[in-house]
């Protein structure tokens, strides 16, 4: 299993509808896509959501989420991974906030 919190390595704005199997909304709206690095040594690409393109920064922390990509011809949601700005700054502090005593908070 991969950790959800990763680093944004690079990004760009997709200004044309990608080819099949991607199904773009009509009318097409440009979207950000980025390459992210997992601590386990894997790098993958995915859509970037939750932040304006001009506010994205290389090296920022993002987290992997599962979200709707499109609906197929039968109306079924097709889901995949996307990345959004990380909401957890320090996992140990977050665990302490919810009362998990197995994690020691760090300064």
**CA 84 to CA 46: how far, in whole Å?**
10
**CA 61 to CA 51: how far, in whole Å?**
12
In terms of C-beta distances under 8 Å and separation of at least 24 residues, what long-range contacts does 12-21 make, across chains too? Answer: 13/53
- Tell me the pLDDT tens digit for each residue of 21-75: 788 888 999 999 999 999 889 999 999 999 999 999 999 999 999 999 888 889 9
**CA 64 to CA 48: how far, in whole Å?**
9
- Tell me the pLDDT tens digit for each residue of 5-18: 999 999 999 999 98
How many residues are there in the chain? 107
Instruction: Look up residue 19 and give its DSSP letter.
Output: P
Token pair of 83 as six digits: 């990345």
Question: Greatest CA separation found in the chain?
Answer: 51
Whose tokens are 């998990």? That residue is 100
Instruction: Look up residue 94 and give its DSSP letter.
Output: H
pTM of the model: 0.75
Whose tokens are 């302490």? That residue is 96
């Amino acid at each position: 299993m991969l950790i959800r919190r990763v680093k944004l390595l690079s990004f760009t704005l997709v200004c044309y509808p990608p080819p099949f199997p991607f199904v773009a909304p009509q009318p097409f709206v440009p979207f950000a896509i980025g390459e992210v690095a997992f601590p386990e040594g894997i790098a993958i690409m995915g859509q970037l959501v939750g932040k304006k393109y001009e506010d994205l920064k290389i090296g920022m922390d993002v987290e992997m989420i599962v979200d709707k990509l499109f609906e197929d011809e039968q109306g079924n949601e097709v889901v995949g991974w996307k990345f959004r700005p990380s909401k957890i700054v320090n996992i140990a502090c977050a665990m302490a906030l919810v009362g998990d005593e197995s994690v020691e908070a760090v300064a």
